């Protein structure tokens, strides 16, 4: 398992616990984290890992809200660790194409952001919203107008990275119900507003969050993945 993904996984569970009614269920939370680590570290085929992940959440339904985001982490762990053990062109193989077909409805838009953060770390760059939209997602390219449509609400509200969390949350509430990015608007804009969060910032973020448990889990995960808990050891990462 990639160490950065393990950091992100721990932060996901810790953030979800702190933003939800699970704060008194520390033993259960730690057990779920350990089960998930076992899934991520197993030598099973990818789709078997997906089945194990789903079984873990089925057995612990309080965590169902983050099931698809956990799938994102499992996917990026595959790219960062598992794929290195396979043939160089595996991601272009028919086998991988079949996996993509089977999982086309799984995961969330946050996988794109995790992949962008991975690229930033590899190239020594600081995450930047304009760079993410224009250079990574290519929203201005005629061939990527589907991405432009998905991220249209974020494109139109880029100035919010300078706004307080309460304003970001207020704008999210005004987005149309069929907005494809509405669920992720708050954590995405908040992450780019300050990728160097401290605990007080996180508390303010969680207080204003429209979906407290999910929003806390996602932002904690992004921050831990970007910084690593060794270098960014805030208590909101601790299980």
pTM score of the predicted model: 0.91
Q: Characterize 199-219 residue by residue with b for buried, 16 or more Cβ atoms within 10 angstroms of its Cβ, and e for exposed.
A: eebbeebbebbbbbbbbbbbb
Which residue has tokens 């933003």? 19
Contact 77, 113 (CB under 8 A): no
Pairwise CA distance, residues 239 & 226, whole Å = 18
Q: Give the three-class secondary structure for 104.
A: coil
pLDDT tens track, the chain, 239 positions: 888 999 999 999 999 988 886 766 777 889 999 999 999 999 999 999 999 999 999 999 999 999 999 999 999 999 888 877 777 788 888 888 999 999 999 999 999 999 999 999 999 999 999 999 999 999 999 887 889 999 999 999 999 999 999 999 999 999 999 999 999 999 999 999 987 788 788 889 999 999 999 999 999 999 999 987 555 455 656 65
Pairwise CA distance, residues 32 & 150, whole Å = 32
Reading the block at residue 189, the tokens are 């804009």
């Amino acid at each position: 398992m990639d160490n950065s993904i393990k950091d992100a996984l721990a932060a996901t569970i810790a953030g979800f616990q702190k933003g939800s009614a699970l704060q008194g269920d520390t033993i259960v939370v730690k057990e779920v984290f350990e089960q998930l680590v076992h899934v991520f570290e197993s030598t099973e085929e990818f789709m078997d890992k997906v089945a194990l992940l789903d079984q873990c959440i089925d057995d612990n339904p309080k965590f169902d809200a983050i099931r698809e985001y956990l799938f994102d982490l499992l996917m990026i762990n595959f790219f960062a660790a598992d794929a290195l053990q396979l043939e160089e062109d595996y991601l272009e193989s028919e086998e991988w194409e079949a996996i993509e077909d089977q999982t086309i409805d799984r995961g969330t838009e946050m996988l794109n952001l995790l992949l962008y953060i991975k690229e930033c770390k590899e190239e020594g760059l600081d995450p930047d919203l304009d760079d993410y939209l224009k250079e990574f997602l290519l929203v201005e390219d005629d061939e990527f107008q589907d991405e432009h449509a998905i991220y249209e609400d974020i494109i139109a509200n880029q100035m919010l990275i300078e706004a307080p969390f309460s304003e970001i949350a207020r704008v999210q509430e005004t987005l149309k119900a069929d907005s494809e990015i509405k669920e992720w608007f708050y954590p995405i804009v908040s992450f780019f507003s300050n990728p160097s969060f401290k605990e007080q910032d996180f508390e303010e973020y969680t207080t204003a969050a429209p979906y407290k448990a999910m929003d806390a889990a996602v932002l904690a995960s992004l921050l831990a993945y970007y910084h690593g808990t060794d270098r960014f050891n805030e208590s909101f990462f601790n299980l």
